[in-house]
Amino acid sequence: MKPLLVLLLSFLLSIIIQKLLNQDINFAFAGRLALSVMLIFTTIGHFIFTEGMSKMIPHFIPLKKSIVILTGFLELLISVGIFIPNIRLLSGWGLIVFLIIIVPTNIKASIENLNYQTGSYDGNGLSYLWFRIPLQLFFICWTYFFVILKK
């Protein structure tokens, strides 16, 4: 829920600031900026909640903490890459693939009632998926629209 609020508030704030500064709103820029702010916000979670997030990764995958840290850096790189014309499409498609790949981690966390922030097993459970799966689809559509389609 927090990443969605960060995304939408950043988008709205960007539009308001653009309107106040030059009265010409660049929605593609606002969409990419909001996505970048959201990615930076979620990146912070990778470094603060490393222990809990590593529990989201399936048991058979080694080096879980390293993967969490590495994916945090990946999100950070993508948050910059979506502004660089030569790598914008690669960054956008990379983010879409990343968002698809992490769906199983969210499913695992829900099945196990994992609270990734505390690392305990008192989370929201399967009901969380009713929000999280559509949210992932929303982030994928947002990325496609504002990063891949809008140049």
Res 67 pLDDT > 80? yes
103 part of a folded domain: yes
Residue 128 tokens read as: 């969380």
Distance, CA of 93 to CA of 74 (rounded, Å)? 13
Assess if residue 151 is contained within a domain: no
The DSSP code sequence of 37-65 is HHHHHHHHHHHHSHHHHHTTS-TTSS-HH
Tokens matching residue 77: 């790189």
With respect to residue 107, please indicate whether it lies within any of the assigned structural domains: yes
Q: What digits encode the pLDDT tens for the residues 92-132?
A: 999 999 999 999 999 999 999 998 888 888 888 888 888 88
- The total number of structural domains in the chain stands at 1
Residue 115, SS3 per DSSP: strand
- pLDDT tens for residues 14-29? 999 999 998 789 999 9
The answer to whether 111 and 132 are in contact (CB under 8 A) is no
Residues of the domain holding 116: 2-146
Alpha helices in the chain (DSSP H): 2-22, 27-48, 50-54, 64-81, 88-101, 103-111, 129-143
